[in-house]
Amino acid sequence: MGERFGVRNSGAIAVIEGAGDHCCEYMTGGRVVVLGKTGRNFAAGMSGGVAYVYDPDHTFDYFCNMDMVELSLVEDSVSRKELLELIRQHYLHTGSALAGRMLDNWQRYIEDFIQVVPIEYKRVLEEEKMARLHEKIADIQRDY
């Protein structure tokens, strides 16, 4: 993809095999998966949504604008399943050889993905998760 892919994305889901500078700039929602290299200034002003970046060289942090986002490995099962399904759909729709290799050897490839989440967005998601947990507990307590 070219420069500024996913800028101001507010809900679209996209899987691409490389991006230029400023990818996911001012993104407010949706999902972006990058299966290749990125240019500089990734995620500048990103306030929502989630990006997954394949980073086999472990250099992505150099290209990412860290002012508003947090980087992590894709460790939780929900995120791993989401990423796997997005890559699977990409493969089904495009026949991508790269996506096919990733799917064939998922356990090796998943270890080289970075999850990019805006700090405030992550806080809101965690608060929503806790509210749902408290609701479940209240429901169970009512049943006794």
Q: Do strands 28-34 and 10-16 pair parallel, antiparallel, or not at all (unpaired)? A: parallel
CB 48 within 8 A of CB 66: no
Single pTM value for the model: 0.90
User: Is 137 a residue whose pLDDT tops 80?
Assistant: yes
> Given this model, what pLDDT does residue 9 score?
95
- List the one residue out of 9, 12, 3 whose CA is nearest residue 27: 9
> Residue 45 — very low, low, confident or very high, per pLDDT cuts 50/70/90?
very high
Q: In this structure, are strands 69-73 and 10-16 parallel, antiparallel, or unpaired?
A: unpaired
Pick the closest to residue 40 from 9, 11, 61 (CA basis): 61
Choose among 65, 75, 57: nearest CA to 115. 75
Which of the four pLDDT bands, split at 50, 70 and 90, describes residue 26? Answer: very high
pLDDT higher than threshold 80 for residue 1: no
Kindly tell me the burial class for residue 6, based on how many C-beta atoms sit within 10 Å of its own C-beta (0-12, 13-18, 19 or more). buried
What whole-number distance in Å separates Cα of residue 142 and Cα of residue 29?
36
**Type of residue numbered 121:** Y
CA distances (Å), 95 to each of 88, 91, 110, in order? 10, 5, 19
pLDDT given for residue 87 in this prediction? 98
* pLDDT bracket for residue 143 (50, 70, 90): confident
Say whether pLDDT at 144 is over 90: no
pLDDT tens across 73-102, in order? Answer: 999 999 999 999 999 999 999 999 999 999
pLDDT tier for residue 3 given thresholds of 50, 70 and 90? very high
- Yes or no: say if 53 and 36 are a contact pair by the CB < 8 Å rule: no
Q: What band does 142 get if pLDDT is binned at 50, 70 and 90?
A: confident
